[in-house]
Chains A and B, each alone.
Chain A
Amino acid sequence: MVRPISMLLLLVASHASFAQMTGNPAGLAPDTPGVEGGGPAPDYANNQDKLFVRQAALGNRAEVDLAKQAAGKSGTQAVKDFANRMQKEHSTSSDRLMKAGKAAKMQIPRDLDPEHQRVRDELGKLSGADYDKAYLAAQIHDHQKTANLLLWHLSYGQNAELIRYSSDTLPVVLDHLEHAKREYAALTSGPTRE
């Protein structure tokens, strides 16, 4: 009688690590720690986690950088407010990502990625209302991409800490997207969803 109970306890204990791994194990790498024992380790970072840390870090950096540019260049208070919000919230987000992403052991490039560099250069040539519209349009596009990056990571990432980062960040990014759409619509008299 004692033996089945202790077996059960063992099973429960060994399955506690499954709480975070609720995806399809068919896509796990064969060298995932724990996978041959029946459950991958939740603190392991898979390829998707690693790529996510890189892309999200570059995204955060670009948002902060473009926001600093906007705070200096825009003459519209609502756009400045939006830019200040981006600078503040993406900086906080960046700090948290760097902590959460330690397991991924990724080297993040020091500079802006070439595409955001190009966007910053293009925006640098504009001024006044043209600048405001172009900055917000680029922000809408960037936040669409970031929302999809988070949704993709939530679909295929594995590291528990990074999954928590993505779940907490998704509502914020969607709210940034709404904010950018609202300000863009205000400048262009276009439609908003609300």
Chain B
Amino acid sequence: MRTRKWRWLLGLFAMSVVPLSHADPLPPEATYRPLPTLPLDVVRRNDEGAKPSVQRRQQALLMQRYDMANRPIPGVMMSGGRKAVQGGVRVKLTPGTTWDQLAQMSPNEIRERNLLPLGFLPLPHVKQLAGGQVFPQNQIDEIGRAEDRNLRRFDVDFDLPDHMTPEFPAPIFLQSRPELGDVSGGKLLTIRNYYAMMVGILTPVQMEGLRLLLTPFPQEEFNQTEDRKVAEQSDGVACLDCHANFHTNAAFHLTPDVRPQTARFRLDTTSLRGMFNQQIHGSKRSLRSVEDFTEFEQRTAYFNGDHVSATRKGVHLPDRPNQVAMMAQMQNMIDFPPAPKLDPMGRLDPAKATQQELAGEQVFMGKGRCAECHVPQTHFLDNNMHDLKLERFYKPGQVHNDMATLPEGPMKTFTLRGIKDSPPYMHDGRLMTLADTVEFFNLVLGVKLTQEEKDSLVAYMLTL
């Protein structure tokens, strides 16, 4: 009786549902990393042969989208005093348009007439279909010198010029010892020098956390197997190979959280400064603690969110109560660089700020709508993810250098403290300067700022 009733109900359900097709699912490589089918020497020969055209193609895209000239803002240096901050709007306008004209148009008009500057679109990986971690030359050179470890890939090189990246090595500020200032001594932290540099400054558990963050572990492109992109068998990479000195060296990757490969967006390494106040982590995962994030990075930054591939190459899964907690504690000690013009609540001190900077803060808090997400009192964060809906301005699905330009959905709000130290900007590094970010949000939020207001916003952000 019971069974018959169930059958009747199931029949009713089947009649009411919309017919859907479930046949012919995509092959597994639509989600999983395929196993290699060629010997490494053949792969390397093909990769090295293709490399010049891969690099040329990416340079052509960058030149089409941006003015990459070395044009620093006079007298403005990053917090370590070792590198100048680049100035001016670098995204190139679509020919025949001006920024003011674009700001007057509706998103729909910009989309229908294909007028969105290409530099506002997601930035492809230098080799989208291979993806993976790519380190800047300064990091490759320094790790080679200090540890005799090779971070150079045979298939791709880093694609941005040095003057568009953060200063290297970045200064390190500790919230546990603020009186010390920069404790890096102008050096890159490595597994070889960390102990001598930090003994007497860190606690024992922080020291152990630091050791783990500097220890290389196998990674998708840097490992012992034939499926790697480094010439010799590699011990792997360390967390701080990208988050160099707990900041960023602009090393990039693809998001582990999206498939298929051509739909994955680029990720510019995030600074770890001010970790103690960040509540959400990870590209699309919105992990709620730095402990969760630290633990799971072995699955994501290291292996693209593919635990199947990770298991074969030798994943390191840190012990949660001991190793993870220590690595997390170490990261939480990292402070933002000093911002002497800010008061304790993150507002400009009128006695110290210039008129232009104060005017910029007014735009930031009001007409510019910046502070709706970048709240000064909570270190310019709101601990939320937001969808800017950029696809209002372009037709999705265009393919640029093998990357499908698709709506990206919600992204977390990044802090603006110490922001002049962190070019390039946005989660994928698609914007080169702070002036670019002002033009981007002027359009995305439709706030129609004057040139004077835009300039004051840049001046304000340089004080943060």
Contact = CB atoms under 8 A, between A and B. Distances in A.
Contact of B397 (A25, A27, A171): A171
Contact of A26 (B20, B43, B392, B404): B43
Nearest to B24: A55
A113 B23 CA distance: 9
A174 B396 contact: yes
Interface stretch (B31-39, B85-93, B191-199, B207-215): B31-39
Interface stretch (B165-173, B260-268, B278-286): B260-268
B130 interface: yes
A36 B42 contact: yes
Interface in A92-139: 113-116, 118-119, 122-123, 133-134, 137-138
Contact of A152 (B27, B130, B406): B27
Contact of A15 (B38, B52, B128): B52
Contacts of A29: 37
B395 interface: yes
B122 to A, nearest CB: 14
A114 B46 contact: no
Contacts of B397: 147, 170-175
A148 B30 contact: yes
Contact of B57 (A22, A172, A193): A22
Interface in A153-194: 154-156, 167, 170-175, 193-194
B29 interface: yes
A194 B128 CA distance: 29
Given A22-B57, A28-B46, A134-B18, A113 B129 contact: no
A71 interface: no
A170 B404 contact: yes
Interface in B220-244: 226-227
Contacts of B263: 151
A148 B26 contact: yes
Contacts of A194: 392
Interface residues of B, number: 49
Nearest to B401: A22
B4 interface: no
B395 A38 contact: no
Nearest to B107: A194
B157 interface: no
B30 A25 contact: no
Interface in A1-49: 14-15, 18-19, 21-30, 35-36, 38-40, 48
B42 A151 contact: no
Interface string B401-431: 1101011000000000000000000000000
B38 A134 contact: no
Contacts of A58: 24
A148 B31 CA distance: 11
Interface string B31-66: 000101110001101111110111001000000000
A155 to B, nearest CB: 4
Interface size class of chain A, counting residues whose CB lies under 8 Å from the partner chain: 35 or more
B18 A18 contact: no
B344 interface: no
B29 A113 contact: no
A115 B43 contact: no
Chain A interface mostly: helix
A145 interface: yes
A28 B129 CA distance: 13
A35 B38 contact: yes
B19 interface: yes
Contacts of A30: 37-38
A21 B130 CA distance: 11
B21 interface: yes
Given A23-B130, A38-B49, A155 B261 contact: yes
Contact of B36 (A14, A27, A116, A174): A27
B32 to A, nearest CB: 12
A29 to B, nearest CB: 6
Contacts of B402: 22-23, 154
Nearest to A58: B24
B76 to A, nearest CB: 38
A36 B47 CA distance: 12
A171 B50 contact: no
A111 to B, nearest CB: 13
A137 B42 contact: no
B43 A25 contact: yes
A115 B19 CA distance: 10
Contacts of A147: 397
A15 B53 contact: yes
A156 B395 CA distance: 23
B127 interface: yes
Contact of B262 (A21, A55, A133, A155): A155
Given A40-B46, A115-B24, A119-B19, A18 B53 contact: yes
B22 interface: yes
Interface string B112-130: 0000000000000001111
Contacts of B129: 22-24, 155-156
B234 to A, nearest CB: 16
Interface in B1-30: 18-24, 26-27, 29-30
B156 to A, nearest CB: 10
B27 to A, nearest CB: 7
B109 to A, nearest CB: 14
A28 B53 contact: no
A141 interface: yes
Interface of B: 18-24, 26-27, 29-30, 34, 36-38, 42-43, 45-50, 52-54, 57, 127-130, 155, 226-227, 260-263, 392, 395-399, 401-402, 404, 406-407
9 tightest A-B CB contacts, nearest first? A171-B397, A115-B23, A23-B129, A25-B46, A122-B19, A26-B36, A155-B261, A167-B399, A137-B18
14 contacts: A19-B57, A26-B36, A26-B227, A30-B38, A39-B46, A116-B21, A137-B18, A138-B18, A138-B20, A147-B397, A155-B30, A156-B34, A170-B399, A174-B397
